[in-house]
Chains A and B, each alone.
Chain A
Amino acid sequence: MAQTRRKTPRHESVISLFLLAVLFIIGLSVVIPQFNLRTSRTVVSAGAAKTLDSLLDSIVLRRTPDGAAGFEPLSEIAVYNAENLYEKIDGKAPFYVDSGFEKLLTNWLKSQQDDQLMFEFYVYDMAEPANAFSVFSVQKRPDASPLALFETNFGYRTENALLFVQGKYYIELIGSAKSEPLFNAMTEFAKQLSAALPDQRQFSMPEPLIAAGDNLIPGSIKFYTGNALGFDGFDNTFTAVYKIDSSNVTIFLSDRPDESSAEQLVRDYCKFLIDTGAEEKSADIDIDKARMLDFYGTIELVFNNGPVVAGIHEADDIETAVKVARLLNDILKPDTEK
């Protein structure tokens, strides 16, 4: 009995091939994740933790230089990763995690002589010097005073705390009381730690800020990995406080990939300000495409110089804003054009 071989209609073939493709994709999606297997989602490899751990343990505070008694660790070093960081610092955790946080090592050191004197150290591994500098600079306390041990941009003290940044690490030493002997012990700890940390890189400031040199308030440079000045377009942005005539004004600058994206960012920032109620003013300034806005009584001035976006934030009056913006633009101009 001869069977009439029907030719498979085209739409049937198409659908069949499509279904075959679906099967193939299902197969891939089952197999491929097997190659990306991460053995441990939680803590960083034990090896890395151990070296920093033992380093911190090895910093011995026997007799501090002025003869105060030694300090000893209260318990074991606690290690936190991005998933459980909140268990230690609660609401501040997202700030660190969003800035690239990887690991925190922390412990208490207590004076062997006086029970009330102790300090806690926090060593944050932020993965990159830029991130470490960012969390360091953004959280700088208003009463920061300089430290002999560190350059002003990289370390400071308050009444009871010593905070500094080194390489990819951000370190906080928090003392339990206002006590010079205690602070001396913390300084000694910081000195030994700074010398022994495996990452000795120093975060490099951008050229323009170095060029601005003495005109900036020492230690006022901040680096934001995101959300500078409250605007989410300002990632990778520096701010600093510029001294002009007897007042201060905040400047900012941000390196963008190219000139057109810099120009776009200027437009976006202005739109953001206008949307939140700023009034645009005509920028009486000889910087190409510079824009000036009055934001509830303070002046914002923003422009781009090639791929760099720069500007003035919350200036008190137009003259100051324009003056500093010109100075900033001059610094940004490449040497040949000056």
Chain B
Amino acid sequence: MNEQNDRKLNRRRFLARAAKAGLSIAAAGIIAKTLYDKQGPSAQPPSELVTIPDFSVPAMPGRTISIVKGRDRVKTIDKAIDLLGGIERFVKPDDTVVIKPNVAFTSVPALGATTNPELVAEVIRLCYSRAQAKQVYVTDNPINNPSSCFTISRIGKAATSAGAKVILPRVSFFKLTTLEGGKYIENWPVLYQPLAKADKLIGIAPVKSHSRAAASMSMKNFYGLLGGRRNIFHQDINTIIAELVMLIKPTLVILDGTETMVTNGPTGGSFSDLKRTDTIIASCDAVAADSFGCSLLGLKPADLPYLAKAQSAGAGTADYQSLKPIIANVT
């Protein structure tokens, strides 16, 4: 009898101990996982985190997104911006404006892999002559060699001819940032220098298909503000694109669907990859712009998971119809 009690007591004690051991192991494992640091320390002490300023302007219901059909890019973009209230609504006198086009590749404008330089030049012209901006900068962190990209895409020349300054990325221009609620953008370098002294940020992107993300439009355009070995995010491309619009709140995005790259994106290579869809979208909401833009590629918003992700994070709406887009034609 006594032995049985002894054994019972021992078993209870053993189980209690085993449970405590299990909990300690779990605790050790959790601590290790949360504090796990794959890359090691960076050259700068971690306290230098920056926040990207919010560049958006106050919303005007019914004047959030405009969709204009036209063959001539310059006329079409002018109309699109005017329908939203004109450049003066977005850029105020003496503002410093940063334009972020897609300059990712050493690709000539005709191939449609980069932003059309005419558009960049026209937006710069509007900022200076109509909005009386103080200074306009054009910047991007390209995938290929930066100076070749700005040269071959002709965006560099278009920018400087229009009176803007091109900012090529340098290592010291990148600062670490962490997106609150973000999974990937944590202590990650962003091209902060041009944004730090800017008042307004305008993104200009072409509509392209993308083999990984299905489409590369105004949201993915902001990938060009990330630094570091950013290609690792391609493994979860939809989350990172959503995080981009959570991180960056632009003043205005312009989505160029004049010649849409429908196959072989994002680099294309043949003129036959492009289809004339003659549409330009101007929007305060990049998610809405993309959710219309995908139709030019023959896709539906449901085909782009990042739209839903961005919408549920509150970074915009995937239902562009609800914003009452202003539709127009330009001959």
Asked whether the complex places CB atoms of A and B closer than 8 A, the reply is yes
Which chain A residues lie closer than 8 Å to B270 at the CB level? Answer: 141, 143, 158-161, 174
Which chain B residues lie closer than 8 Å to A90 at the CB level? Answer: 104-105, 143, 231, 266-267
A91–B266 CB distance below 8 A: yes
Chain B residues numbered 268-312 whose CB sits less than 8 Å from any CB in chain A:
269-273
B229 to chain A, nearest CB (A): 10
Chain A, interface size category, equals 20 to 34
Quick check: is A271 within 8 A (CB to CB) of the other chain?
no
Alpha-carbon distance between A139 and B210 when the two chains are bound, in angstroms: 13
Chain A residues numbered 44-100 whose CB sits less than 8 Å from any CB in chain B:
86-92, 94-95
A74 to chain B, nearest CB (A): 9
Assess A94 versus B234: contact at CB under 8 Å? Given A87-B143, A87-B144, A89-B267: yes
A12 to chain B, nearest CB (A): 21
Alpha-carbon distance between A86 and B143 when the two chains are bound, in angstroms: 8
B contact patch SS:
loop
B74 to chain A, nearest CB (A): 21
A134 to chain B, nearest CB (A): 15
Taking a contact as CB atoms closer than 8 A, the residue among A94, A95, A158 that contacts B271 in the complex is: A158
Digitize B62-77: 1 where CB-to-A-CB distance is under 8 Å, 0 elsewhere. Answer: 0000000000000000
Alpha-carbon distance between A229 and B199 when the two chains are bound, in angstroms: 49
Quick check: is A142 within 8 A (CB to CB) of the other chain?
yes
Taking a contact as CB atoms closer than 8 A, the residue among A92, A143, A159, A177 that contacts B267 in the complex is: A92
Assess A174 versus B111: contact at CB under 8 Å? Given A91-B211, A92-B211, A139-B264: yes
Which chain B residues lie closer than 8 Å to A177 at the CB level? Answer: 108, 110
Taking a contact as CB atoms closer than 8 A, the residue among A87, A108, A142, A172 that contacts B269 in the complex is: A172
Quick check: is A178 within 8 A (CB to CB) of the other chain?
yes
Alpha-carbon distance between A283 and B213 when the two chains are bound, in angstroms: 38
Assess A158 versus B272: contact at CB under 8 Å? Given A86-B231, A91-B234: yes
A94–B143 CB distance below 8 A: no
Which chain B residues lie closer than 8 Å to A192 at the CB level? Answer: none
Assess A91 versus B271: contact at CB under 8 Å? Given A139-B264, A176-B110: no
B105 to chain A, nearest CB (A): 8
Alpha-carbon distance between A87 and B105 when the two chains are bound, in angstroms: 9
Alpha-carbon distance between A174 and B264 when the two chains are bound, in angstroms: 13
Alpha-carbon distance between A120 and B111 when the two chains are bound, in angstroms: 12
Which chain A residues lie closer than 8 Å to B106 at the CB level? Answer: 108, 120
A95–B211 CB distance below 8 A: yes
Alpha-carbon distance between A95 and B104 when the two chains are bound, in angstroms: 19
Alpha-carbon distance between A176 and B110 when the two chains are bound, in angstroms: 7
A161–B269 CB distance below 8 A: yes
Which chain A residues lie closer than 8 Å to B212 at the CB level? Answer: 91, 94
Which chain B residues lie closer than 8 Å to A139 at the CB level? Answer: 264
Among residues of A, the one whose C-beta sits closest to the C-beta of B232 is A86
Assess A86 versus B272: contact at CB under 8 Å? Given A91-B213, A91-B216, A139-B264: no
Alpha-carbon distance between A248 and B257 when the two chains are bound, in angstroms: 32
7 additional A-B residue pairs with CB within 8 Å, beyond A91-B267, A159-B270: A86-B234, A89-B267, A90-B105, A90-B266, A176-B111, A177-B110, A178-B271
Pairs A-B, 4 closest by C-beta atoms:
A143-B272, A158-B270, A176-B108, A161-B270
Q: Which residues of B contact A (CB under 8 A)?
A: 104-106, 108, 110-111, 143-144, 210-213, 216, 231, 234, 263-267, 269-273
* Pairs A–B under 8 Å by Cβ, sample size 28: A86-B231, A86-B234, A87-B143, A87-B231, A89-B267, A90-B104, A90-B143, A91-B212, A91-B213, A91-B265, A91-B266, A120-B106, A141-B263, A141-B270, A141-B272, A141-B273, A142-B272, A158-B270, A158-B271, A159-B270, A160-B110, A160-B270, A161-B269, A161-B271, A172-B269, A176-B108, A177-B108, A177-B110
